Amino acid sequence: MEVRRPAADIFAYVTRIENNPRFHARAVATWRLDDREPAIGVQWRAKVRFGGFIRQFEFHVTDYVLDERFMSWTTSGRVHFGTGCVLAPHGDTTRVTCIREIELAKWNVLLRPIAVAMLRREINQEALELQRQLESPVTDASTGGNDGTISTIVIRQ
């Protein structure tokens, strides 16, 4: 998706941990464990709706490049997963790609098609909500709309 806002504004919004429940459908509450600003290694917690229950996960920032990339991972549950985004200037807009990663091992590999479908729906909803909060959609005259590249899902084994 593309947003007519500077990358710095978007980055500041998505890296403010407390904003996560505003655009992430599963997040109930999020908070930092200390007063440090996000950076690689910084930890934070989230209460997340998962499987009909609310569970608490501890995340740690694994990738942080100012105004470009932000990624956090959790290994505090049975399924390890990550969430984040990549920002890139694109003319007078910023291209925002939301990312979701999940680690499936052993028998969980059988869940790959289900996980991909679920994550694709979830991440697209998150991207659209984030876009709605930051600005109305930008359309491309050559395609009649956004190019659909609003999310990336990675499944690790």
Q: Is the pTM of this model over 0.85?
A: no
Q: Which domain holds residue 8?
A: 2-156
The per-residue pLDDT string of the chain (157 residues; one tens digit each, 9 = 90 and over) reads 888 889 999 999 999 999 999 988 889 999 999 888 889 999 999 999 877 899 999 999 999 999 999 999 999 888 889 999 999 998 888 999 988 888 877 767 777 788 888 888 888 888 888 888 887 444 433 333 344 445 555 555 4
Domain with 37 in it: what CATH number?
Answer: 3.30.530.20
**Cα separation of 45 and 48, whole Å?**
10
117 three-class SS: helix
Q: How many domains does the chain have?
A: 1
Please name the residue that has the structure tokens 């984040």: 84
According to DSSP, the β-strands at 2-3 and 80-90 are unpaired
